[in-house]
Amino acid sequence: MTLIGARIRYRAALWLAAVLAVTTLGVTGWPAQADAAASDMRLEISRTDPALLDALHDRLPEAGVVDVVDSANRTARSCSAPVSHRVASFCWNSGDGSVAYWMPQGITSSSDAYPGGTVDGREVLITSWYDTGSSGINRGVRLSFVDMSDPVTPDYRHILLVEPYWSGSEPNYRRVAAHAGGLVWYGDKLYVNNTYDGMRVFDMDDLMRVSTGDSGKIGRQSDGRYMAHDYLYILPQSGRYVPSTVGGEPRVRYSQSSLDRTTSPDSMVVSEYGNPGDGTRIIRFDLDEANHEIRADSDGYARADWSRVTSFRSVQGATAVNGTFYVQRSNGDGSRGDLFTWRPGNYAEPHDGTVPIGPEDLSYWSQKGQLWSLSEYAGKRYVYASRLSSW
C-alpha cells in the first residue's frame, strides 16, 4: 500500500470511529485517536524588517501596557453572565455591547504573559475584535486592554493592530486583516490567530502612541503625522507565522489558541472550527520559554508536537490544564453554548447549555483557577469566568 493510500484509509477509520461513537453513545466528543501526522503541520516565521520597526520607533512615542490601562477611557458595566460555576463577569459599555461592525473574538491575560500573573504589578485582560466592514470602513483588528483591578466594572481602552510597510523611504502601516479568533500573550509576545493564514505575532515592547482626530484615516499623513482611525495607541506586527503542511495533511485552520503552562515546555493549544466538525483537530506547539517564540527546529520550521483528530462541532475555544481539555461549542445566535471536558483516550463529558450564546476563545487564569471567555453577538456580549475545579 502506498503512503497516500495508508493515510486515506487511516483518516477513513478515524471518521468511521467518530460516527460510531456519536451514534451509538450519543456523545458529541468522542475519544479521539492520535494523529501521527502532527509533525506534518508546520509554521515558519517571517519577521518584519527590524529597520522598519526602528524607523517607526524614531517617529512615534513609545508606550507600555501600563500606559494603556492607565489611560483607559471606557468603563464596563456590571452584569451576570449566564455561565455555570460563574465567579466573575462584566459587560462592555453600551456602545461596545451593541456595535454591529466590531465582533469580539480572542482572550488572554497577564496570567498567560507571566507566571506571576501580573505585568508591572497589574492584572490585565486583553481581548480582540475584528471589523466586519459593514460600517463602510474596515479598520482591521483592535484589542481591548482591561484593567482588572476592578473585575466588576473595569476600565478599559481599545488600541489598533497595524501591519508596517515601507512607503518609499518612510515607515508606514496599514490595518491588519485577520479574524483574530484567538489570542495568546506570552512574555513580551502577543499571538493572534489568522485562520488559514497561520498566526501573526506582535511585540508588546512596540506599543506606540499616535495622533487622533480623524476616524477615517490610518497610517502616515501628508503632514507627517501618524493616525489610526482615531485610536490613541497602535501595536505594529513584528512577524507572521506562515503555515504549511506536508505528507498529504490537510491545511490547518488556526481558529483559536490558548496557553498551557502545565506542560513541559510550555505549549500553545490550537483548535479548529468546523461544522459538522468531523476531522477537526486540536494540536499543540511547544514554546521557547527564553525568547517567547514558538519552538522551531534547526531548519526553521516550527512543527506541531501533538495532535488529535476529533469530532467536536463548532469549536469556539479550547484550552488544557494538567492534561484535561476544556472545549467550548457555539450553537449559533439562538441557543446557549456548550462546554466539554475531555482527557484524550476517554469520552468527552458534555455540559450542554452552560455558557452564554455565542461563546468564543478560552483562556485559563492559573493564579485564580478560573476559565475566562467572552461572547460575540451584539446585545448579548459578556466577558465571564467560571471555576475550573467545578467542571
Give pLDDT, residue 229. 98
Give pLDDT, residue 35. 55
- The tens digit of pLDDT for each residue in 322-339 reads 999 999 999 999 999 999
Give pLDDT, residue 278. 84
- Angle at CA 314, nearest 5°, toward 309 and 315? 60
All cell numbers assigned to 363: 483562556
- The tens digit of pLDDT for each residue in 217-271 reads 999 999 999 999 999 999 999 999 999 999 999 999 999 999 999 999 999 999 9
Give pLDDT, residue 17. 38
Which amino acid appears at position 361 of this protein? Answer: D
Residue pair 294/44 in contact (Cβ under 8 Å)? The answer is no
Distances (CA, A) of 55 to 47, 168, 221, 255: 15, 13, 16, 33
Cα 195 off chain centre by = 10
All cell numbers assigned to 45: 516565521
| Whether this model's pTM surpasses 0.75 | yes
All cell numbers assigned to 320: 488544557
All cell numbers assigned to 144: 481591548
- Domains, the chain, with CATH or none: 34-390 (2.115.10)
Residue pair 279/205 in contact (Cβ under 8 Å)? The answer is no
Spans in the chain with pLDDT lower than 50: 1-29, 31-34
